[in-house]
Amino acid sequence: MKIAVVGTGYVGLVTGTCFSETGNTVTCIDIDARKVRKLSSGEITIYEPGLEHLFQRNLKEGRLRFTTSLVDGISDAQIIFLALPTPPGKDGAADLSYVLGVADELGNLLDDYKVIVDKSTVPVGTADKVREVIARKYKGEFDVVSNPEFLREGVAVDDFMKPDRVVIGTRSERAQRLFRELYAPFVRQGNPVLFMDERSAELAKYAANAFLATKISFMNEIARMCELLGADVDMVRRAIGSDERIGKRFLFPGIGYGGSCFPKDVQALARSAAEVGYPFRILESVMHVNESQKVYLVPKIMDYFKGRLQGRKIALWGLAFKPNTDDIREAPALYIIEALLAEGVHVHAFDPEAMPNVRQLLGDRISYGTDQYSVLEDADALIIATEWSVFRTPDFEKMDAAFAQKVIFDGRNVFEVPQMQALGYYYESVGRQP
Ligand code: UGA
C-alpha cells in the first residue's frame, strides 16, 4: 500500500517506519526542513531502542522517504496518517490547530478517494471536525478514520509491531477494508482489530491513558498509607496484582507519572468532561495526587537534614521521565531539581540518555556527571528518579569508594531494603519501611 504520514515526531516516525517494514511504501512529511534533511540522509531524530535499524534498512531499500512537501507526499497515497502535535491549549483542552490546519490544506489538495487518519490523541469529535474542514473545499469522496496509537516510549517498535489491539474508528466499509489489509501483518498472534465508530475510538484512547494514570495515582496513595501504617507496598502490590481482575502491571508506586501523554491526556479528558457539564472527579484526584507525588521525596530529604539544605550537594540518578528514553517532558526529576535549587542545593545529575535535553533546558543551573559514580563524589545524598537498569545493579565497591555519606532517597524502588541495610546505607524508598 502507499501511505503518507504527516508529522515526523515520535508517533509519526515510529508509524512510518513500522508500516514500511511490512512492505508498504511510506512518505513522511514534515514542515521542519532541517529534520527532513537529517532523516533523508539517514540520521534518526529520536532515541528509541530498535527503531534505528528498521529506519536505516527501509530508507536504504526505498520504502521510506521524507519530504517537506504535502502535495508531493500525499500525491499517490491511499491512506494519509496525521501524527501531529496536540499540545495543551488554554484551560488544558487539546490545541487542534495543527491537525485542522493540515486538514484545511488537504481540502485543497485531494483529487481522488483517500482515507485521512487521526493518529494523534485528539478529543472526541475531532474526526467530525476534520471531515467538515476538508469537505468545505473538497467535494469528492473521502473518509476520516480515528486510529489512536497505544505505543509506549522505550518499547515503541514492539508495541507497534505486536499491538494488544488495534482500534479503528470508522463506519465506512471501504475504509474498513483498507485497514483490515493494512494491519493484517501486525495482528497475526490473534490480537483483535476492533472496528467502532469514530467517537468511541477517540474516547477509548483517553480512557486507556486515564485508567493507567489512575492505577498509578492509586498505588502512590496506597504507598503513602503503607508508610503511615507500617506496611510494605511491594507485598500489597503482589497481593492485589495476583487477582486477575486487577492485574500485575502498572502497579508500581514511585514519584508520579510524567511524559508527553499521561499528564496531557488526563487533563484533556477532565477538561472535555467539564465542557459537557460532567465533573470527572476521579481524574481531578488523579492529577492532584500526581502533582504532590512528583516532589514527595523533598520533605523527606528536608527532614533528614533537619531543614538545612542550603549549600549541600545532592546527586541525582535519572532525568528522563522513565527508562530507555531521552524524553524529559513532565519528568518528575525536573520538579525535584527545581525544589532543591530553591533550597540552595547543588544538584549533580547523571542520566544515560537525557542529559543533552536537560542541559538545553537548565544549562549550568545543575552540573552533569560523566557516569553514575562521578556524581557521588562529596555528595550528601543520592536521589534516584528514573529506574534505568544500570542503576539497579551498580558496582557497590565503586559506589562505596565515591560516596562516603551513603544516604539514598529512592523514588523508584530500584533496590531491596534489606540489601541496602546490609551494605550500610541509610535508605528511604516509596511505600516501604526504612
Ligand atoms: C503511555 C501509555 O502507556 C501508552 O499506551 C500510550 O500510547 C502513550 O502513553 C501515549 O499516549 O502516547 P508512555 O508515556 O510512553 O506511554 O509511558 P509509560 O510507560 O506508560 O509510563 C508513563 C509514566 O508512568 C512514567 O512516568 C512511568 O514512570 C509511570 N509509571 C508507569 C509508574 O509510575 N508506575 C507504573 O507502574 C507504571
Query: Contact at 8 Å (CB) between 330 and 324?
Result: no
How far apart (Å, rounded) are the C-alpha atoms in residues 203 and 214?
A: 16
* CA 159 to centroid of ligand 1, rounded, Å: 13
Q: Which residues are catalytic?
A: 261
Q: Is 164 annotated as a binding residue?
A: no
Name the residue at shortest CA distance from atom 20 of ligand 1.
Answer: 152
Q: Does 298 sit in the ligand 1 pocket, CB within 6 Å?
A: no
* Burial readout 157-186 (b: 16 or more C-beta within 10 A, e: otherwise): bebbbebeebbbbbebeebbebbeebbeeb
The pTM assigned to this predicted structure is 0.94
Each residue's pLDDT, cut to its tens digit, for the chain (434 residues) gives: 999 999 999 999 999 999 999 999 999 999 999 999 999 999 999 989 999 999 999 999 999 999 999 999 999 999 999 999 988 887 767 899 999 999 999 999 999 999 999 999 999 999 999 999 999 999 999 999 999 999 998 999 999 999 999 999 999 999 999 999 999 999 877 889 999 999 999 999 999 999 999 999 999 999 999 999 999 999 999 999 999 999 999 999 999 999 999 999 999 999 989 999 999 999 999 999 999 999 999 999 999 999 999 999 999 999 999 999 999 999 999 999 999 999 999 999 999 999 999 999 999 999 999 999 999 999 999 999 999 999 999 999 999 999 999 999 999 999 999 999 999 999 999 999 88
Mutate to test the pocket of ligand 1, among 146, 153, 205, 326 (most ligand atoms within 8 A of CB): 153
- Report the residue count for the chain: 434
Q: Report all structural domains of the chain as residue ranges with CATH numbers, in order of start.
A: 2-195 (3.40.50.720), 206-293 (1.10.1040.10), 295-428 (3.40.50.720)
Q: Does 15 sit in the ligand 1 pocket, CB within 6 Å?
A: no
Name the residue at shortest CA distance from atom 30 of ligand 1.
Answer: 257
Q: Is 365 annotated as a binding residue?
A: no
Mutate to test the pocket of ligand 1, among 13, 118, 212, 410 (most ligand atoms within 8 A of CB): 212
ipTM comes to 0.96
| Grid cell at residue 237 | 502490590
